[in-house]
């Protein structure tokens, strides 16, 4: 069996042998070996957020005169490829790793730097044009990048996926409420017959639940707009330009359509993830609402002979193989 070619890179701990065509470097490869925990890798939305952060940092550092045009252009192009998903295979790390996400921030820095080397016609591992720490990670730290990537990835998913889906579902249920308005049926409490109700009224309740869910999703998006970018290692903003966060956030808004803003207190933003916990609570409420609606419809369509059987769902596939 032919052995795959390798290359040797150095980091602060010494030499590391890794696949010749891997865009990640020595530090990432150490983490691959150190954390073979679950097999779960980071999501597409999270890696996209990392790419956007590195893209925005390159633009902002160039705006501030800290990064020359050639390096900035290379980093922007490579970071764009990360954001677009073209380099996902080079993000091999398990999601369970060192607590601050240092390995994954390093992964992004190394991939972008090595891709810059390729774009400049240099071999992978070359640091002549772009260095992963000095240039790609300029003015940043894992401790502000990773919390910000969590917020950005979740906020984009809320804006582009969940909220539009809830709007579509709300409209569909409102249309059914109108369609079913003239249908009178029995109301129930705890599955026991109660007083009459319109089927349209029941569906109007479902539509309102979804409308409330949409408002909860929008609240989640609002609290996730606050980013830790600019706090660097411990929240003090050490080793970054005073105007870097403001300029990065402007570029991020340009790309996402979301008006992110700098954390009111970087020590809170980096010391805890209360905003994510709050957003999760809103999402859990939405999930419970949708489960309740689905369960009601399942009950109403039960049967057809011995169940409630008040509504009939379109058949999608055969049922039990024994019947």
Question: Which residues carry out catalysis?
Answer: 190, 320
Dist. CA 227–CA 191, nearest whole Å: 47
- Across the chain, the runs of DSSP E, i.e. the strands, are 6-11, 14-19, 184-189, 192-198, 226-227, 261-262
Task: Give which of 141, 138, 49 is closest to 102, Cα–Cα.
Answer: 141
- Residue matched to tokens 């795959």: 4
- Buried residues in 30-43 as b, exposed as e (16+ CB within 10 A): bbbeeeeeeeeebe
Pairing state between β 6-11 and 14-19: antiparallel
CB distance 313 to 297 below 8 Å: yes
**In sequence order, what are the beta bridge partners of 9?**
16
Which DSSP category does 5 fall into?
P
Dist. CA 176–CA 156, nearest whole Å: 30
Q: How far apart are the first and last CA of the chain?
A: 53
CB distance 155 to 221 below 8 Å: yes
């Amino acid at each position: 069996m032919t052995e795959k070619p390798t290359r040797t890179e150095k980091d602060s701990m010494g030499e590391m042998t890794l696949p010749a065509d891997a865009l990640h470097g020595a530090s990432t490869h150490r983490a691959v070996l150190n954390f073979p925990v679950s097999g779960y890798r980071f999501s597409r939305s999270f890696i996209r957020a990392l790419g956007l952060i590195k893209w925005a940092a390159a633009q902002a550092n160039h705006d501030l005169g800290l990064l020359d045009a050639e390096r900035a252009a290379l980093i922007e192009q490579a970071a764009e490829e990360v954001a677009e998903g073209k380099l996902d295979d080079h993000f091999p790390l398990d999601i369970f790793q060192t607590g601050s996400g240092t390995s994954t921030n390093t992964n992004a820095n190394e991939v972008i730097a090595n891709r810059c080397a390729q774009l400049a016609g240099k071999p992978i591992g070359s640091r002549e044009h772009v260095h992963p720490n000095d240039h790609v990670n300029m003015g940043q730290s894992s401790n502000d990048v990773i919390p910000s990537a969590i917020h950005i990835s979740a906020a984009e998913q809320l804006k582009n996926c969940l909220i539009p889906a809830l709007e579509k579902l709300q409209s569909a249920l409102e249309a059914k409420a109108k369609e079913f308005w003239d249908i009178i049926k029995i109301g129930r409490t705890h599955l026991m017959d109660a007083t009459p109700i319109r089927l349209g009224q029941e569906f109007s309740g479902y539509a309102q639940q979804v409308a409330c869910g949409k408002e909860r999703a929008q609240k989640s998006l609002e609290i996730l707009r606050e980013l830790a970018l600019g706090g660097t290692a411990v929240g003090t903003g050490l080793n970054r330009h005073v105007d870097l966060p403001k300029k990065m956030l402007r570029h991020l808004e340009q790309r996402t359509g979301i008006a992110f803003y700098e954390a009111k207190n970087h020590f809170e933003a980096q010391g805890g993830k209360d905003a994510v916990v709050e957003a999760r609570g809103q999402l859990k409420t939405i999930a419970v609402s949708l489960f309740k609606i689905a369960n009601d419809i399942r009950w109403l369509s039960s049967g057809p002979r011995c169940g409630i059987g008040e509504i009939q769902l379109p058949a999608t596939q055969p049922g039990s193989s024994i019947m």
